[in-house]
Amino acid sequence: MTTMYGPDVTFLGIPRARLDDPTSLAGADAVIIGAPFDGGTSYRAGARFGPSAIRSADVDLLETARPHIALGVDPLNDLRVVDAGDVMMPSGQIIESLGRLEEAVSTIVAAGAIPVVLGGDHTIALPDISGVAKQHRAGRVAVIHFDAHTDTADFEFGSKINHATPMRRLIEAGTVRGDRFVQIGLRGYWPGPDVFDWMAEQGMRWYEMSEVGRRGIDVCLDEAFNIVRQDCDGIFLTVDIDVVDPSMAPGTGTPEPGGLTSRQVLDAVRRCALELPILGMDMVEVAPAYDMRGEVTAYLANRIVLETLSGIAKQRAQRTNA
């Protein structure tokens, strides 16, 4: 079996690949892998079933064509996208699990493809981004981070490695420059001022929901894109599903009311994929046990991945045509 949990299927039925078989990756534009790990969660676990839920969210799309109506591209055909199954990540063994994931991501990047990682809790952003960055010079990978939370705590729940801390670890390690790290959708009551002080010192820029509401998300994105485009080889896009309002994406671990709508997040990741050079992506914190019976969170996460791939496909098509 190539998946750790759930039926042994690929994302919407695309071809399988194996990370230990270079020929299966040859020519791939993007490689999807699952990171079914939730050992870093502080509260509701269950994101280990995220990859399975996102892959199978819509069997109506288990066809050979899935054309994006608005963009006029077929993301899983215009791009060559394969699914390499899950990385084996037992949730009780955090260090080994994250290590395996980083190696998997690096293998994909080395093969010339864009890694698309289906989480899993947000701890996985650490190996996801590290795995991409190590194929570039230090600080040359910028990050666009959609989330309700900053994930920049220093120490939480008695440890330095969990889903509250990955962004700090990345910046501390010099993997990513703080002033090329933009967060969109923050809100609520965590973390405290000391953490925001640290973030400001690193030159991070964040868009709290009040600002997004007041200025409009497109203005914020314009500004964010200007920041991350400078002196960088490309962008890692990390999307925590809890950036969306919990009523529209209830299947997640740490809900915070007042988020983006599902329409807004789809439009936003589309713009990222159309306008920025995407080097990698992860889609995290989908916890199906808290989802609605109609699985709306899994559908939304499935569509965020498809929307991103569609944008990439469109961008490439435009470049080719130009």
Segment 125 to 154, residues that bind a second copy, using CB under 8 A: none
Q: Among residues 135, 261, 275, 277, which is the contact residue for a second copy, using CB under 8 A?
A: 261
Q: Which is nearer to a second copy, 177 or 187 (CB)?
A: 187
Q: Which is nearer to a second copy, 178 or 185 (CB)?
A: 185
Contacts of 44 by beta carbon, 8 Å cutoff, 6+ apart: 252, 253, 254, 287, 289, 290
Only one of the segments 128-136, 165-173, 233-241, 246-254 lies at the binding site for a second copy (rule: CB under 8 A); that segment is: 246-254
Q: Which is nearer to a second copy, 234 or 259 (CB)?
A: 259
**How far apart are the C-alpha atoms of 229 and 243, rounded to whole Å?**
22
CB of 10 to a second copy, least distance (A): 9
Binding mask 210-239 for a second copy (x = CB under 8 A): x--x--------------------------
Residue with tokens 């306008």: 275
What is the DSSP secondary-structure string of 7-24? Answer: -S--GGGPPB--TT-HHH
Facing residues of 146 across strands? 184, 239
By CB under 8 A, residue 7 contacts a second copy: yes
Q: Among residues 29, 88, 140, 202, which is the contact residue for a second copy, using CB under 8 A?
A: 88
Only one of the segments 16-24, 89-97, 171-179, 231-239 lies at the binding site for a second copy (rule: CB under 8 A); that segment is: 89-97
Report the 10 Å Cβ neighbour count for 43: 10
Q: Which is nearer to a second copy, 33 or 98 (CB)?
A: 98
By CB under 8 A, residue 34 contacts a second copy: no
**How far apart are the C-alpha atoms of 141 and 84, rounded to whole Å?**
24
CB of 184 to a second copy, least distance (A): 13
How many chain residues touch a second copy (CB under 8 A)? 88
**How far apart are the C-alpha atoms of 167 and 77, rounded to whole Å?**
33
Instruction: For residue 34, give the DSSP letter.
Output: E
Strand order in the sheet with 114-119: 81-86, 30-35, 114-119, 278-284, 234-240, 141-146, 181-186, 205-208
Only one of the segments 129-137, 165-173, 192-200, 275-283 lies at the binding site for a second copy (rule: CB under 8 A); that segment is: 192-200
CB of 92 to a second copy, least distance (A): 3
**How far apart are the C-alpha atoms of 80 and 26, rounded to whole Å?**
10
Burial of 231 (0-12, 13-18, 19+ CB in 10 A): exposed
Query: Rule CB under 8 A: which of 151-190 touch a second copy?
Result: 157-159, 161-162, 186-190
Nearest alpha-carbon partner for 119 in 59, 52, 42: 52
Q: Which is nearer to a second copy, 130 or 310 (CB)?
A: 310
CA dihedral over 306, 3, 297, 43, signed as positive or negative = negative
Contacts of 223 by beta carbon, 8 Å cutoff, 6+ apart: 205
By CB under 8 A, residue 290 contacts a second copy: yes
By CB under 8 A, residue 306 contacts a second copy: yes
**How far apart are the C-alpha atoms of 240 and 247, rounded to whole Å?**
15
Q: Which is nearer to a second copy, 155 or 226 (CB)?
A: 155
Q: Among residues 45, 111, 274, 317, which is the contact residue for a second copy, using CB under 8 A?
A: 45
By CB under 8 A, residue 60 contacts a second copy: yes
Judging by DSSP bridges, how do beta strands 205-208 and 30-35 pair with one another? unpaired
By CB under 8 A, residue 93 contacts a second copy: yes
